[in-house]
Amino acid sequence: MSSEWKTKELSDTFLENVRGAIPLAETQFEVMHKMISLWFPEVGLAMDLGCGDAVVGRALLSKFPSAELVCVDFSESMLDSAREHFSKTDAVHFVEADYSSSDWTGTLNDFGGFDVIVSGFSIHHQTDEKKQEVYSEIYGLLNPGGVFLNLEHVSSSTKEVEAAFDDYFIDSLYEFNRKANPEIERQTVVEKYYNRTDKQENILAPLEEQCDWLRRIGFQDVDCFFKIFELTLFGGRKPGRKDL
C-alpha cells in the first residue's frame, strides 16, 4: 500500500513540479470529454478516484457543469488542495478513503450509483491483484451504462522503450521546471526523476493486460483511447443502458 502519497511533501512536489509537465494533458482531457459525451452525456453523479487536487474531476466538471462530483483520496493534504479549487456552490463532496482497503466502497454508501468514474495516475500504485479488485469494485459502483476512464501510467513493452519514455518525460519535466527556475540544469531534473520517493511505489502493468482484466470483469467497449509512451487513457462502460 502506498503511504508516501499521504505526506504533504510528496503532494506538493507532485502538484508543483510534476503534474503540469505531463505531456498533452489537455488532449487527454479532450478525449475523456469525448468518450463521456458519447456514452453518458447527461452525467449525474461522477467520481474522481485518487483525486489529488482533483485536476481530472475539475476537467470533467468544466464540460459537464451540472454533474455532482465525489472526490476520493486517502491523503488529507491532497484533499485540502482539491477543496481549494472549488467554490461553496459547486456540488462537490470530499471523501477520505483508501481504495486498497476492503471496505472503502462502504464510505460511499451515502451516494447512489455513479454514472462516470475517472481516475488519474493513481491505481498503478497497487499490486496487479489489487488493481483487479479495485476495477471490480468500480464496476460495482457504476450505474448500468456507467463509464470508467483511467488516465494511467502503464508499463513499457521493453526496457529500451521504457528508456525512451524516461528521456521524453525528462525533457518535458525540464521544460516545465525551467519556467519557474530558468537556471535549473537538465541533470538536476534527471537526478530528481530517478531518485524520486514515489518511484518505488509504482507497480506498472501492461495496458493490454489491464484492458483484458476490464473485459473479464464485464466492461464492454474496452479500449485505449489515448497513449503516449507509458501515459494512457483506457477504460470501458458497464452494459445495461437501453437508450444509447
Ligand X SMILES: C[S@@+](CC[C@H](N)C(=O)[O-])C[C@H]1O[C@@H](n2cnc3c(N)ncnc32)[C@H](O)[C@@H]1O
Q: How far is the CB of 185 from ligand X (least distance, A)?
A: 25
How far does Cα 102 stand from its chain's mean position? 20
Site string for ligand X, 21-60 (x = CB under 6 A): -----------------------------xxx--xx----
Site string for ligand X, 103-122 (x = CB under 6 A): -----------------xxx
Closest by CA position to 103, among listed 133, 131, 123? 133
Q: How far is the CB of 237 from ligand X (least distance, A)?
A: 21
Question: What's the burial of 103, exposed, middle or buried (CB within 10 Å: 0-12/13-18/19+)?
Answer: exposed
Q: How far is the CB of 242 from ligand X (least distance, A)?
A: 32
Q: Are 98 and 104 in contact (CB under 8 A)?
A: yes
Residue 73 near ligand X by CB under 6 A: yes
Residue 100 near ligand X by CB under 6 A: yes
Separation between Cα atoms, residue 115 and residue 201, nearest integer Å: 30
With CB under 6 A as the contact rule, the residue among 21, 36, 47, 78 that binds ligand X is 78
Separation between Cα atoms, residue 8 and residue 181, nearest integer Å: 22
Is the Cβ of residue 13 or residue 221 nearer to ligand X in the bound state?
13
Cell 519535466 belongs to residue: 173
Cell 489489487 belongs to residue: 130
Q: How far is the CB of 199 from ligand X (least distance, A)?
A: 12
Separation between Cα atoms, residue 55 and residue 33, nearest integer Å: 14
Identity of the amino acid at 207: L
With CB under 6 A as the contact rule, the residue among 39, 40, 64, 74 that binds ligand X is 74
Residue 95 near ligand X by CB under 6 A: no
Is the Cβ of residue 19 or residue 85 nearer to ligand X in the bound state?
19
Separation between Cα atoms, residue 100 and residue 134, nearest integer Å: 7
Is the Cβ of residue 98 or residue 221 nearer to ligand X in the bound state?
98
Q: How far is the CB of 243 from ligand X (least distance, A)?
A: 31
Q: How many residues bind ligand X (CB under 6 A)?
A: 20
Q: How far is the CB of 150 from ligand X (least distance, A)?
A: 10
**203 grid coordinates:** 507497480
Residue 150 near ligand X by CB under 6 A: no
Is the Cβ of residue 100 or residue 221 nearer to ligand X in the bound state?
100
Give 178-197 as a DSSP string.
Answer: HHH-TT--HHHHHHHHHH-T
**What's the DSSP call for residue 91?**
-
Positions that interact with ligand X (CB under 6 A)? 2, 5, 14, 19, 50-52, 55-56, 73-75, 78, 98-100, 120-122, 125
